[in-house]
Amino acid sequence: MRKITVGFLGCGNIGCGVWKLLHEFEKDLQHRSQVAFEVKKILVRDISKKRDEMIPAHLLTTEPKDVTDDPGIEMIVEFMGGEEPATRYMLRALQMGKTVVTANKMALALNWHLLQEAAQKHNAGLYYEAAVCGAIPIIRTTIDSLQANRIETMMGIINGTTNYILTRMSQEGSAYEDVLRDAQRLGLAEPDPTSDVEGYDAAYKLSILSSLAFHARVPFDVVYRQGISQVDAKDIAFGKELGYTLKLLAIAKREENVIDARVHPTFIPHEHPLSSVNGSFNAVFLHGHACQDMMLFGCGAGSAPTASAVVSDMLYAASRETPRHPTFRNTNALAENLEVTNDWHCSFYVRLSASDRPGVLAHITACLGNEGISIRNLMQRDAVDGHAQIVLITHNAGECAIHKALEAIDPNEAKVESMIRVEGK
Amino acid sequence: MRKITVGFLGCGNIGCGVWKLLHEFEKDLQHRSQVAFEVKKILVRDISKKRDEMIPAHLLTTEPKDVTDDPGIEMIVEFMGGEEPATRYMLRALQMGKTVVTANKMALALNWHLLQEAAQKHNAGLYYEAAVCGAIPIIRTTIDSLQANRIETMMGIINGTTNYILTRMSQEGSAYEDVLRDAQRLGLAEPDPTSDVEGYDAAYKLSILSSLAFHARVPFDVVYRQGISQVDAKDIAFGKELGYTLKLLAIAKREENVIDARVHPTFIPHEHPLSSVNGSFNAVFLHGHACQDMMLFGCGAGSAPTASAVVSDMLYAASRETPRHPTFRNTNALAENLEVTNDWHCSFYVRLSASDRPGVLAHITACLGNEGISIRNLMQRDAVDGHAQIVLITHNAGECAIHKALEAIDPNEAKVESMIRVEGK
């Protein structure tokens, strides 16, 4: 039995979950891996705070160096969240040659180049399965199981809060604000929900996933981002009628050396495997040139599922004699050989409120036609107050073209109420 | 760049797929892994046979020793299928200290104990991601990502041929024989379809999966097996009406130290993630005590998807300094601490053809009631020729109890036409 000494950075919900899993499942873990983890120090902000788990007081410290600098600690597990001071502490631990396991998508997405550089320079392991999609083994799958693939598409529901909100809006026809309030009451959304509902959380994760998928750094700041706070229940209902489900998708595509990476509300056909991923579940759908379609589905958050991923990283690190590093350059810039485009191609759902008089439809279709955009589906609803609702779905078109076409529509004829991208067909 | 010399055992559809992937994707593989594979010898039955890939004639041999015994070959990839001579050749290669990568579920399920023993004794790697579910990384996920879990349930659609047949029967209402004939014409079913349609293929795979999930050998011969050749389109239609989809599921469950492992047609609710896995796709749904619900979905067969898994194993083996072995005992018997039961508990769907007269329902429910079985759903259809169709779904009950109850039904009152297990609720 090999003993590995461990230090925690932080001990909130996830940290306590890892403590619990390591202790309750200790015998099984030792039997399976021939490794015994011993937690030696835990950095916390407040030693006297009440915790879910009975953690001996002598393990707690408020001094970061007690964890990062102790030569008697071989492995650091970081649960602090946020960019700093987490990044600084992890860098320090890597410089000391320690293995670092982290669940921190923000620190990783923003400072991966620094962390990876330190890991490689000091021959230390850096593992982050828990940073993306909780228990779902999407990081390890991308690194260990899809290396023989040119991954062309990755589309994920990688934020549970927004998926919970959109699922309930879709099932109940409720308004965004009402469901958000409910989610906050249930602890499924933060008091300040910005990071989730405006897509920051998903964009951090997509930066990590797409970098691994494309073997080239895709920095956070090139990820296009649009959240769900402006989603209108009306569009969810119209989409449903037309055979589509609305999801906040994180999408990364590659064609030759041009990529796009984007987070936005997206309609997908009811038959698409992502369409039935409901509530706070996560899933990543991908297409590789050899593996073809694949999807991984599971719990993207929560104390136990995240602990499952963290401990799997600890065991994975323990099973290797040399650390495993990704192969792309340590830079925070887009890889030299890649170009990122904001002019991606997909279908578009457009809802317009139009004056109910002859010639309006002709005007709209002309504006689209001028940009080479043709219509696949069109639905017109009875006029209320002299204004008809027109809903259309285009054939494949460019992002720039659709914007140009919609701007050309005379606001006296029709008002563009919403535009939602359509993927998956 | 490290060079690794490779020998193929067999070169049919999958072998050619691996050859193609290794060569077409050579530069990317080398860049990503810093490993260059060189195929040095390929064992074939017939050197003159026409193959999809242009393989230099001097690489082909009909002499097994040219591959298994050549000290200049470090890694063997086996695509022969069938128990022998594949097992013998793999054993020989392992004894020579070579890494073995195999796509052969039958050889592995039946002789895992021998292969694993040889691998451990000679410190050789043995990898088999492609043996179960093609491109889906279920083996690596179980070994590397779920070690911190007590896996309680694994339910999979792990045979594409039967899923294709059941999907079409369900969508078109067609009869089993008609769809099978079609599948054979399309190359989706073998001329002798027994291994697929009678559940042998799925049972081999379930033996492998459940052994890894439970960390204890679950031999092929303890897996209960019932195929789809007796499935009646009528039951698929009735099930659909009641909210269920019929799938051939491979199921392994564990409660304390009692397990069950079984392959049989199974009704699952439409809302279950496995329910929408259609056509020849595969998927494995599982529940672990920490990760909670998880599902992996993808292509379970085909030349390119299987090659994706084979090459991922080759790269995984190349990335490790020491081979990775599972932790259970090298035995072909059920692990000492486990007990296998054939008296599992689930719900049951039963269809009866009954004489249309008073008292019949009372008799049926009494027979069930005597075994402590209560009814959740009951549906009766108009009598044809004086015989009514009665369809019922029970609450949770034992396998033995349902058999006893159905045997007690007086055949003059009602005839049991079919009994199908119901899972997932």
Residue-wise pLDDT for A385-425, tens only, equals 778 999 999 999 999 999 999 999 999 999 999 999 999 96
State whether A32 and B327 contact (CB < 8 Å): yes
Query: Which pLDDT does position A77 carry in this prediction?
Result: 98
Q: Is A98 a catalytic residue?
A: no
Query: Which pLDDT does position B62 carry in this prediction?
Result: 97
DSSP string, A335-354: PTT-EE-S--EEEEEEEEEE
User: Who's near B264: CB < 8 A, 6+ residues apart?
Assistant: B199, B224, B225, B226, B248, B249, B251, B421
Contact A341, A224 (CB under 8 A): no
| Residue B37's pLDDT band (cuts 50, 70, 90) | very high
Is the pLDDT at B317 greater than 90? The verdict is: yes
Q: Which of A141, A299, A321 sits opposite B292 (nearest CB)?
A: A299
| Residue B379's pLDDT band (cuts 50, 70, 90) | very high
Three-state SS at B291: coil
| Residue A17's pLDDT band (cuts 50, 70, 90) | very high
**What are A254-278's pLDDT values in tens digits?**
999 999 999 999 999 999 999 999 9
Query: Which pLDDT does position B19 carry in this prediction?
Result: 97
DSSP secondary-structure letter at A130?
A: G
Q: Which of A135, A145, A319 sits opposite B291 (nearest CB)?
A: A135
Is the pLDDT at A364 greater than 80? The verdict is: yes
A330 or B14: which carries more pLDDT confidence?
A: B14
Query: Which pLDDT does position A408 carry in this prediction?
Result: 98
Q: Which residues of A touch B171 (CB under 8 A)?
A: none
Average pLDDT of the residues in B72-88: 97
Q: Find, among B117, B111, B74, the residue nearest to B93 by Cα.
A: B74
CA of A280: which chain B residue's CA is closest? B293
Is the pLDDT at B332 greater than 80? The verdict is: no
Please check whether residue A21 touches B, CB under 8 A: yes
| Residue B50's pLDDT band (cuts 50, 70, 90) | confident
CA distance A127 to chain B (A): 12
Three-state SS at B103: coil
Three-state SS at B267: strand
Interface of B with A in 147-206 (CB under 8 A): 147-150
How far is B240 from B167, CA to CA, in rounded Å? Answer: 12
Query: Which pLDDT does position A51 carry in this prediction?
Result: 84
State whether B299 and A308 contact (CB < 8 Å): no
A146-163 burial, b at 16+ Cβ within 10 Å, e below that, comes to bbbbbbebbbbbbbbbbb
| Residue B237's pLDDT band (cuts 50, 70, 90) | very high
Number of cross-chain residue pairs from A and B with Cβ atoms under 8 Å apart: 174
Average pLDDT of the residues in B329-333: 74
Interface probe, candidates A308, A327, A328, A337, chain B, greatest B C-beta count within 10 A: A308
How far is A221 from B84, CA to CA, in rounded Å? Answer: 56
B335 or A177: which carries more pLDDT confidence?
A: A177
CA distance A312 to chain B (A): 5
How far is B258 from B339, CA to CA, in rounded Å? Answer: 5
The overall average pLDDT reported for chain B is 95
Is the pLDDT at A280 greater than 90? The verdict is: yes
Is the pLDDT at B99 greater than 80? The verdict is: yes
Beta-sheet pairing, A244-255 with A258-269: antiparallel
How far is A33 from A29, CA to CA, in rounded Å? Answer: 6
Q: Which of A34, A145, A276 sits opposite B140 (nearest CB)?
A: A145
Q: Which residues of B touch A308 (CB under 8 A)?
A: 146, 148-149, 288, 290-291
The torsion angles phi and psi of A9, rounded to 5 degrees, stand at: -105, 105
Count of beta carbons in the 10 Å neighbourhood of residue A1: 8
| Residue B173's pLDDT band (cuts 50, 70, 90) | very high
User: Who's near B231: CB < 8 A, 6+ residues apart?
Assistant: B166, B169, B176, B246, B265
Is the pLDDT at A19 greater than 80? The verdict is: yes
Residue labelled with tokens 């259809």: B381
Q: Which of B25, B144, B294 sits opposite A298 (nearest CB)?
A: B294
Q: Which residues of A touch B288 (CB under 8 A)?
A: 135, 308
Query: Which pLDDT does position B324 carry in this prediction?
Result: 81
Q: Which of A288, A294, A305 sits opposite B297 (nearest CB)?
A: A294
| Residue A333's pLDDT band (cuts 50, 70, 90) | confident
Is the pLDDT at A329 greater than 80? The verdict is: no
| Residue B70's pLDDT band (cuts 50, 70, 90) | very high
Is the pLDDT at B51 greater than 90? The verdict is: no
Please check whether residue A35 touches B, CB under 8 A: no
The region of weakest confidence among A268-272, B114-118, B239-243, B322-326 is B322-326
Interface probe, candidates B147, B256, B313, B328, chain A, greatest A C-beta count within 10 A: B147
Q: Find, among A208, A8, A20, the residue nearest to A111 by Cα.
A: A208
Q: What is the largest CA-CA distance in chain B?
A: 82
Average pLDDT of the residues in A338-352: 96
Please check whether residue A349 touches B, CB under 8 A: no
Q: Which residues of B touch A319 (CB under 8 A)?
A: 324
CA of B139: which chain A residue's CA is closest? A145
Three-state SS at B239: helix
Q: Which of B144, B298, B315 sits opposite A148 (nearest CB)?
A: B315
State whether B308 and A322 contact (CB < 8 Å): no
Contact A283, A157 (CB under 8 A): yes
**What are A97-150's pLDDT values in tens digits?**
999 999 999 999 999 999 999 999 999 999 999 999 999 999 999 999 999 999
Please check whether residue B330 touches A, CB under 8 A: no
| Residue B230's pLDDT band (cuts 50, 70, 90) | very high
Is the pLDDT at B325 greater than 90? The verdict is: no
Residues of chain B with pLDDT > 90, as a percent, come to 90
Token output for A96: 């000391």
User: Who's near A411: CB < 8 A, 6+ residues apart?
Assistant: none
State whether A307 and B290 contact (CB < 8 Å): yes
Is the pLDDT at B78 greater than 80? The verdict is: yes
Average pLDDT of the residues in B167-185: 97
Query: Which pLDDT does position A356 carry in this prediction?
Result: 78
What are the catalytic residues of B? 205
**HEC string for A242-301:** CCEEEEEEEEEEEECCEEEEEEEEEEEECCCHHHHCCCCEEEEEEEECCCEEEEEEEECC
| Residue B336's pLDDT band (cuts 50, 70, 90) | confident
State whether A136 and B294 contact (CB < 8 Å): yes
Q: Which of A21, A149, A294 sits opposite B290 (nearest CB)?
A: A21
Active-site hit among A205, A234, A247, A404: A205
Is the pLDDT at A285 greater than 90? The verdict is: yes
Query: Which pLDDT does position B180 carry in this prediction?
Result: 98
CA distance B317 to chain A (A): 10
The overall average pLDDT reported for chain A is 95
Is the pLDDT at B131 greater than 90? The verdict is: yes
CA distance A346 to chain B (A): 24
Q: What's this model's pTM, rounded to 2 decimal places?
A: 0.96
**What are A43-97's pLDDT values in tens digits?**
999 999 888 788 999 999 999 999 999 999 999 999 999 999 999 999 999 999 9
State whether B298 and A291 contact (CB < 8 Å): yes
State whether A298 and B293 contact (CB < 8 Å): yes
